[in-house]
Structure 1
């Protein structure tokens, strides 16, 4: 039986997509997220999020700030503690459908959801180049988006809201496919393992660029979802069986 290693823990329904195809699956979290200590800008209007983790960190900070604000007896509202009506007025720009869904479910208005950082950056430079942006991101964020914004003189401030922690594990088993969901996930895996001839299935082009540093045996999912990564792996392994 062919085997698949997922570098992110899967839901029961996601695991069943693999098991139902006749493959075994091992799963673990190759990375962990730690919220950073940061301050919300006083000026919040156009917000950029490149991941769900950035949105989660932002929401967590809003809740923290509101809790502190509610403990203050005077009635002056802190500018950095937006209320629900203000949230509805934010204009959000993000990457990926899951990030967009998280924003929408929390009452935010999403102006643009792009497939990758370059697409989002060029959209902003073409449509909103006169606005000021707050870019919420992780400490290990890629350089494409801020580089492009700087090249086109778009005003923005970058706020580091979370750190990525690598959780490396060593595997003696040789897998037929590896599921990767971020460049950090690949870095975590190769710290104690080798890709060798195993197929690396990547969630997007950014993750694939990291995989390409270590192997030529990689493929990219059709969409930036876990289900799409699984579907790509199943299709590739089934093709190997037929060949």
Structure 2
């Protein structure tokens, strides 16, 4: 029961943000049951005057809700069968950009993962040069025998695994209820949609896969003087 209440609280917060950004203005209520129609009408009462174009309202709301929702939006951009062609096109503009987390948190994460003090690992470790929903990238150097070699170090956001698990569990909760009360939800296989997103995120969080892909790219481009993979 506590878990269900927790999911409902998180989903209620998300619904509030979506309502404030005016996202429910684009919901086609003609195929919804009467209680859902009433809920959409109530949600529209609290929407604020649009500060962005209609096409950007959903992207703005998802960005406000955080990394899990940004990933959900990017995933749904590839599923017009679920959200419709118009919303899918709108979501294509959703950018996976987030403010960087503090440098000291990145240093702690690297030292914990590699079980060594940072000075023993890198000759230099700079501030983040790019930050997204799951991780951020730092420019670093390792000391060689005669010179230094530049590297790109990707660091997961602190606590991001737990954050995604909580949000994805809430998505699964909502999807399962949607399938229970709606034939359309069952047709779209909403739980399967969330499960696919969960697997995708798990792969993105395992940076070993990305490192392997970069190693392969470096091998394939090693004879190209104009292209170098860190």
Category of TM-score, reference length = shorter chain: under 0.3
Q: Which has the higher strand share?
A: 1
Q: Which TM-score applies when normalising by structure 2? A: 0.26
Larger radius of gyration: 2
The structure whose RCO (Cα within 8 Å, separation 6+) is larger is 1
